[in-house]
Amino acid sequence: MHYVNLCAVIVQLLAVLQPIHGSSLQLTEDNFDKVIASTELVLVNFYADWCRFSNMLEPIWDEGADLVSKKLDKNRVIMAKVDCDKEEKIASRFHISKYPTLKLIRNGHPAKKEYRGQRSAESFLKFLEEEVRDPVKVINSTDDLTEEKKGQVIGYFSSQDTSTYQSFMKMAMALKDECVMIAGFGEPFRPFMPGGQDLVIVRKPSSTDDIAMPQIDITDTERLTDWARRTCVPLVREITFENAEELTEEGLPFLILFHMPDDTETPKRFLHMVEDELYTEKEGIQFLTADGLTFAHPLQHLGKSKADLPLIAIDSFRHMYVFPDIKDMETPGKLQDFIADLHSGKLHREFHYGVQEPAAPAAAAPAPAPTRGQKPAPPPTSPPESVFKKLGPSGNRYSLLKDEL
């Protein structure tokens, strides 16, 4: 009896962990969360069997997975794949709209940027080798600290062997693309460690002011990472012509507040609203402010001018959509619904065909035919094309969008 039970357990484990092709692990709703929670880096190929680009990538992906499994620690790094037709919940969770989409998931959290490098086994290996590299810069004194364009997360530790530093390292891996990670050890930093306790501080971009960590146990990696991300990485950024390419490269749609240059109050209210209501949406959209005079062209594209400022719009990198009324910005749920309508495709459908009435009950009588003189339904329209995608980096096209079928 015990033997039978043991066999059943082994079969279940194999079903969860067995790679389907080569060393590439097939992820399903049953094993997805277990794998990303227990593996430091998971490079995931979100594919569809009907997509020719997905089929072209498949043998290269499996070759890369074999190479990575030989060269890197399989307990830290794996390459995996998700069949988006079979695993619709996972695809929806990560806002997958084109195939194949390659995403890196680090310690359970997706990186902001998709993988857009060369699609070869050697390139996948090189990319992952760089990702597992120690992201922490070690300093010998506080004189080594300088202003950085990115925010800095700085830790002072008694030694590298402490559990607090191990937690700091995990946080650093999660935020390495977003912040500069710095650590100092031992006697030179004792004066900055109250009561001799290890300390973590943050400096915002282009600042030398220290923001002390609140009463958080540094060994609580999840809370440490959440605090460092909120403090180090601005949740709402200003878009300029200088940083537009970098922002578009992250691949996330923009939710943009356009405002007059002398209007400082509306951006502050927008920031508070985003922090209070929309923080959980940050994995699927970028929150930005824009000088409405500098970016007059997108406004013209939307049929708007400086007289309409301030206003909020979404640029999905395919089309642009205007938030109906800026006065509703601080109404709980309104902006969140606007973002949800983007991801669900509702904004696109309603722009084409207008607001759809709920389906009539089955027993209801059919709608009367149009009478003579009645205006026919308006023809489908197209929302304004994206302007900001034109500011993004150029490159070869690898993927197929759902709407292009």
- For the chain, 405 residues long, the average pLDDT of each consecutive 10-residue run is 44 40 84 94 96 95 96 93 95 88 89 85 95 92 90 96 94 88 96 92 90 91 90 89 81 93 95 90 91 94 94 93 95 94 86 59 52 52 77 53 44
Instruction: Classify the C-alpha dihedral 194-200-205-211 as positive or negative.
Output: negative
C-alpha to C-alpha distance for 292 and 283, rounded to whole angstroms = 26
Going by the DSSP 8-state scheme, the letter that residue 370 receives in this structure is: P
Per-residue model confidence (pLDDT) at position 1? 44
Lateral strand order in the sheet of 254-259: 236-238, 286-291, 254-259, 311-315, 320-322
For the chain, how big is the Rg over CA atoms in Å?
25
C-alpha to C-alpha distance for 102 and 84, rounded to whole angstroms = 12
> For residue 266, how many other CB atoms are within 10 A of its CB?
19
Any idea which architecture 236-353 has in CATH? 3-Layer(aba) Sandwich (3.40)
Per-residue model confidence (pLDDT) at position 392? 64
C-alpha to C-alpha distance for 197 and 214, rounded to whole angstroms = 14
pTM: 0.58
In sequence order, the 6+-apart residues with CB closer than 8 A to the CB of 130 are: none
Q: Judge contact between 258 and 312, C-beta under 8 A.
A: yes
CATH of 136-232, one of 3.40.640.10, 3.40.30.10, 3.40.605.10, 3.40.50.20: 3.40.30.10
Per-residue model confidence (pLDDT) at position 348? 80
* Record: fold of 2-131: Glutaredoxin (3.40.30)
Residue 81: closest CA among 89, 90, 73: 90
Per-residue model confidence (pLDDT) at position 242? 84
In sequence order, the 6+-apart residues with CB closer than 8 A to the CB of 332 are: 277
Going by the DSSP 8-state scheme, the letter that residue 35 receives in this structure is: H
Q: Judge contact between 269 and 275, C-beta under 8 A.
A: no
Which residue intervals of the chain bear CATH 3.40.30.10? 2-131, 136-232, 236-353
